A and B are shown apart, each in its own frame.
Chain A
């Protein structure tokens, strides 16, 4: 985190020293380097088992959970920064772009470490505000500005809901620190406050649902992803979503333990949320006409899968295992989904249209990128081209253990359905005849490199997920 902060400072410095400069390579290089160093440091700490450190009298806590998610954020940030090299190269405000990305990443990292509603709220805003600006980055493009506007308005509304929820929880428990809330709840609160607490918890849940793009707070997501520059869509749908999940994990497992919080059945709420989110996301994705929107809706579907981790906290399941299954899914998802959106960025870079038909025959021109895209899509669908199959399988195990068979069936049926629309893209790229005027000018190095790296990692996460399974489990157990 500190390294990310230094990166941001370095970017500010470069930008203020050469305000008119367009030294895109320097800016993007510094960002990539900064996030890579942060990635390596986080990764080493994570694999060595860092233990838990409390900062600011427990307001922030650096433990395996926060390291695990910081690992996701930094790797996605590195990929995005690498891929943005060409994308931003032609546009104004390059320094600002990278600074905003890094600031958002810092916000997410803080979010992963928050152990109190106060810090959680502040870091949520720190993560969100740069995102609003980034979505509207293409300020000459009406779609982008409109998407930024929508995102901002819904974001502001959710922040308000979240803040109000926090105040109600505070009213009921008299504390903002997650661990103190849990302690108060375990002792039992005044019966007359149960209603206040219940509404508070549900409003907090609403705030989380916004950040994870879960139903019913998902409406901003397709619009924002569609309008935003494609690398930013990748950033939002992978890193920002994971940030929402780590917040959800911490709040609901640390602050509102399911067995202590009498009268407020948030597990059931998450079960409904998971089922509705995955079904709605996938069905909506199946009816889309453009690839980017399809990916946007399918990423809502994946939020539904990850929500199983919370929906399965029924007590019969091995809870640390279920939680780590959700974390592993988010990790794999971070790479495969980022890669898929970066491929869309590549297509946008080439000026290819957005619909499925526009991708026809692309594999003739760019077989390597299309092979990578096929890996992402099949992995997202749960076929064994990447770690997606394995992490979905763990989620399935968790759902069955928790005896939430509805969620298990929902996961299987939705995966089968999702193959349909993912395969549509694959079919367009490889099997359909190319449009006659399909021409590709240049192969952007940074973008290509980012896509290939993401593809390689996605594939490797199938045999090598074991590297992360142990830290994930430790992190999961740490919350209970």
Chain B
């Protein structure tokens, strides 16, 4: 019942906030959003799940499974439950939602009840995405996220908000449909052996060799591969992966700060979470056949995203592009498919949620005060805004992977996981990806140096004051969390490990299925790309 309670509170809260006058909405939505935090922390403390939600031998925490509706042979289940991957993501969602709501008090000054109502609606949908275990229920929440985000960017965004909102909406909705087709190809490939969309049931059916039949003249392996890449393409947009990342900087730059926090902190994780759940848990053998192509995409995202960030003058764009780079690490860890790789990828989802949230909040505070985000327009801000500057420095260092911060743990895990991975040239490709960290250090040091330190000057007419309490509190909370996870990664890593270890064991039995000729094809394609 806990999951339903979290979603229900957010939904009812959203309706209440929407209907009430503006002047109450900020405080009310903040108060309401504390309840899901308490709930999710309680769930975290009493978490008793074992194993991976989709694989056999697991016990889910807070599971609910009821027959939602059945029409003829088709049954849909309302099925939610948590394992070690989804639990930390739900805690992340509730915490970041509250911090985002708190940080909205300064910048959001019109149509507040609508804004806060949508924020709570978004929180409900995001919790649903991470908890749902029936494809249709999951898809309902997945699509439901688009709607509040569309309004949040489109109504409260910057000057080009309409363009950014439409672009976001169209990109991600088309991607959803592509993914939908891919998933259904897989389900119909399974034929009569499966009549539900329950994900554990589908994973169970897929684990039997020869379960997927041929469709429309495609061999079973081709069906799986096509399904894999259709789903991958759909999720890649959400992650986002180069070259389908172009909606992200637009959306980020136009979105108001609180929305950017949710967008980078939680929304992007929907993509990587779905990749983990669908592509890499349901079809691990395909992931391994094409590992080289996938790694190439991941490395490209890391390096290209970092180079793009290096070229930016707008602080918010820097953070936005660096997200593309960080999400590349997640893909790298997933493709590695070792315990550290998968665990590191999941840890990176949490870690990046916190760090990018911190940086967006910091940039937001600077923007609220100075009304500019351009690196060239300001310098020496640390004098006047010490806490904010400290937060940005912390966030940047965490991004660069300094020890005792969560970014270090995440990247270390990903790299050690992918260094020892099975795919060809693993050490070499990992080394190329690691070069991304050097570029990260480059652009963040550069940006900090120019904006925070040196002689104080800002080219605006606004008075530069210290940030107010409700701006600072979210920063401090996030710093504490980043350092806590960096010093004691076991806080969440044990949980994550419990959920990803069964995945690595699964592949050992399935590798026999994969044809060696596909690996050769992958190598030659990558060879072509590299040459």
Question: Residues of A with Cβ closer than 8 Å to B?
Answer: 318, 320-321, 324-325, 328, 363-364, 367-368, 371, 374, 378, 383-385, 389-390, 393-394, 397, 400, 405, 412, 415-416, 419-420, 423, 427, 430-432, 462-463, 465-466, 469-470, 472-473
Contacts and interface: CB of A to CB of B under 8 A. Distances in A.
Interface in B290-343: none
A423 B151 contact: no
B69 A416 contact: no
A389 B140 contact: yes
B173 A416 contact: yes
9 contacts: A321-B71, A384-B143, A412-B177, A423-B166, A431-B155, A431-B162, A466-B68, A469-B69, A473-B72
A364 B18 CA distance: 12
Contacts of B174: 416
Given A394-B71, A469-B70, A412 B136 contact: no
Interface of B: 18-19, 68-74, 111, 114, 136, 139-141, 143-144, 146-147, 150-151, 154-155, 161-162, 165-166, 169-170, 173-174, 177, 180-181, 184, 188, 216
A320 B143 contact: no
Contacts of B166: 423, 427
Contacts of B177: 412, 415-416
A473 B72 CA distance: 7
B161 A431 contact: yes
A385 B72 contact: no
A62 B162 CA distance: 52
B184 A400 contact: yes
Given A320-B72, A427-B154, A431-B155, 8 more contacts: A321-B74, A368-B19, A384-B139, A394-B74, A423-B169, A427-B166, A430-B151, A466-B68
A429 to B, nearest CB: 10
Contacts of A321: 71-74
B143 A389 contact: yes
A367 B141 CA distance: 23
A393 B138 CA distance: 14
Nearest to B111: A364
A397 B74 contact: yes
Given A367-B114, A378-B147, A383-B143, A473 B71 contact: yes
Contacts of B69: 465-466, 469
Contacts of A371: 18
B136 A469 contact: no
Nearest to B216: A405
A295 B59 CA distance: 49
Contacts of B114: 363, 367
A385 B145 CA distance: 11
A414 B474 CA distance: 44
A462 B140 contact: yes
A371 B71 CA distance: 31
Contact of A430 (B136, B154, B181, B216): B154
A393 B136 contact: yes
Nearest to B174: A416
B181 A383 contact: no
Nearest to A375: B147
Nearest to B74: A397
Given A367-B18, A423-B169, A430 B71 contact: no
A416 B178 CA distance: 11
Contacts of A384: 139-141, 143-144
A417 to B, nearest CB: 11
Contacts of B188: 400
B142 to A, nearest CB: 9
Contact of A383 (B70, B146, B154): B146
Which of A385, A393, A394, A463 has the most chain B CB atoms inside 10 A of its CB? A393
Contact of B181 (A367, A374, A412, A462): A412
Given A383-B143, A400-B188, A427-B162, A318 B72 contact: yes
A63 to B, nearest CB: 18
Nearest to B184: A400
Contacts of A412: 177, 180-181
A321 B75 CA distance: 12
B71 A472 contact: yes
B73 A318 contact: yes
Contacts of B74: 321, 394, 397
B387 to A, nearest CB: 35
A6 B154 CA distance: 51
A427 B150 CA distance: 9
Contacts of A385: 144, 147
A462 B69 CA distance: 10
A416 B180 CA distance: 12
Given A364-B111, A412-B177, A383 B71 contact: no
Contact of B71 (A325, A405, A420): A325
6 interchain residue pairs of minimum CB distance: A466-B69, A321-B72, A384-B140, A431-B154, A469-B71, A384-B144
Nearest to B70: A469
Contacts of B150: 423
Nearest to A462: B140
Contacts of A473: 71-72
Contacts of A466: 68-70
Contacts of B170: 420
Nearest to B151: A430
Contacts of A405: 216
A364 B22 CA distance: 12
Contacts of A328: 71
A372 to B, nearest CB: 12
Nearest to A413: B177
B13 to A, nearest CB: 15
A367 B113 CA distance: 10
Nearest to A320: B72
A321 B73 CA distance: 8
Contacts of A465: 69
B215 to A, nearest CB: 10
A420 B150 CA distance: 13
A416 B173 CA distance: 8
Nearest to B157: A431
A325 B71 CA distance: 8
Contacts of B161: 431
A371 B181 CA distance: 30
Contacts of B147: 374, 378, 383, 385
B120 to A, nearest CB: 14
A416 B74 CA distance: 24
A469 B76 CA distance: 12
Contacts of A393: 136
B173 A419 contact: yes
Contacts of B180: 412
Nearest to A364: B111
Contacts of A472: 71
Which of B19, B71, B111, B141 has the most chain A CB atoms inside 10 A of its CB? B71
A375 to B, nearest CB: 9
A325 B72 CA distance: 10
Which of B19, B74, B154 has the most chain A CB atoms inside 10 A of its CB? B74
A383 B140 CA distance: 8
Nearest to B161: A431
Contacts of A378: 147
Contacts of B184: 400
Contacts of A318: 72-73
A142 to B, nearest CB: 37
A323 to B, nearest CB: 10
B121 to A, nearest CB: 10
A378 B154 CA distance: 16
Nearest to B69: A466
A221 B317 CA distance: 49
B216 to A, nearest CB: 8
B92 to A, nearest CB: 23
A420 B170 CA distance: 8
Contacts of B72: 318, 320-321, 324, 473
A412 to B, nearest CB: 6
A324 B70 CA distance: 12
A90 B108 CA distance: 42
